Amino acid sequence: MDAHPQSQPTEKTVYVVDDDESVRTALTRSLEKRGYSVYCYDSGDAFLKNYASGQAACLVLDVRMPGMSGLDLQEQLVNQHPSLPIIFMTGHGDIPMSVRAIKNGAFEFLEKPYSVDSLQQHIEQAIAKSRVLLEQETHAREINLRFAKLTARELDVMRLLVAGIANNSNKEIARELDISHRTVDDHRARIMSKMEARSLAELVEMSKICGIHEP
């Protein structure tokens, strides 16, 4: 792993993972001159041990490396850190490799040699995408925290509400759950309050984030 002069990531953060020291050095110099904070690692393992999500950034990643390949690292990041867009770079790219990378969600796939101007353009787009993904993650996390506060009975009522039982009729929901109409009214009001939903349509959208889908 390479040392870096900056102690904290900034709004223009780029991570570079490449086993070639000369590539890491050249990229660091070029990108830092353009105002980026650059963090370099010589392997996927070193990157995973040190990376912490939560900051808009992108990863410039070599495909072919000893040990964990770039594609192997990508497969781990897809599940662990989906808000980090990946720009692949390789001097030995082929069609199957690029297809696999793109199918797994790679932001871009560049073959060496490439211009720094072109790379910077992709980096700017990738960081912008990362910022949007982080906002979506934060929103989903907040929705799920609200969802976790629902009681078991409120969850039963919410499931029927978003499923559209008899056009969301409280009477039909009461009949389905064998409880009183007034009890359903109370549960429905508490659900809307706890979820901070302004309408049933908004509650339905929240339910999708929480894993409750319309049939």
Residue with structure tokens 């509650």? 203
Percent pLDDT > 90 in the chain is 60
Residue 8 lies in a domain: no
User: Cα 100 vs. chain centroid, distance in angstroms?
Assistant: 19
CATH number of the CATH domain containing 165: 1.10.10.10
The verdict on 166 and 198 lying in the same domain is yes
The pTM of the full predicted model, rounded to 2 decimals, is 0.76
Nearest of 90, 81, 89 to residue 50 by alpha carbon: 81
With 90 as the cut, is the pLDDT of residue 65 above it? no
The verdict on 107 and 42 lying in the same domain is yes
Please check whether residue 69 is in contact with residue 155, taking contact to mean a CB–CB distance below 8 angstroms.
Answer: no
Residue 92: pLDDT band (50, 70, 90) is low
Question: Which domain, by its residues, includes 119?
Answer: 13-139
With 80 as the cut, is the pLDDT of residue 73 above it? yes
Alpha helices, DSSP H only, in 20-80? 21-33, 44-50, 70-80
Mean pLDDT of the chain: 88
Residue 203 lies in a domain: yes
CATH number of the CATH domain containing 102: 3.40.50.2300
Q: How far apart are CA 207 and CA 205, in angstroms?
A: 5
Mean pLDDT, to the nearest integer, of 48-56?
89
Residue 106: pLDDT band (50, 70, 90) is confident
Residue 3: pLDDT band (50, 70, 90) is very low
**pLDDT for res 64:** 84
Q: Which of 110, 139, 168 represents a domain boundary (last residue)?
A: 139
- Dump pLDDT digits (tens) for 152-179: 999 999 999 998 754 668 888 998 899 9
- The answer to whether the bond into 113 is cis (omega within 30° of 0) is yes
Please check whether residue 47 is in contact with residue 17, taking contact to mean a CB–CB distance below 8 angstroms.
Answer: yes
The verdict on 165 and 188 lying in the same domain is yes
The verdict on 35 and 17 lying in the same domain is yes
**pLDDT for res 214:** 56
The verdict on 156 and 205 lying in the same domain is yes
The verdict on 127 and 187 lying in the same domain is no
With 60 as the cut, is the pLDDT of residue 118 above it? yes
Residue 6: pLDDT band (50, 70, 90) is very low
The verdict on 121 and 82 lying in the same domain is yes
With 50 as the cut, is the pLDDT of residue 5 above it? no
Q: How many domains does the chain have?
A: 2
Residue 93: pLDDT band (50, 70, 90) is low
- Comparing 207 with 53, which gets the higher pLDDT? 207
Q: Taking the CB of residue 208, how many other CB atoms lie within 10 A of it? A: 12
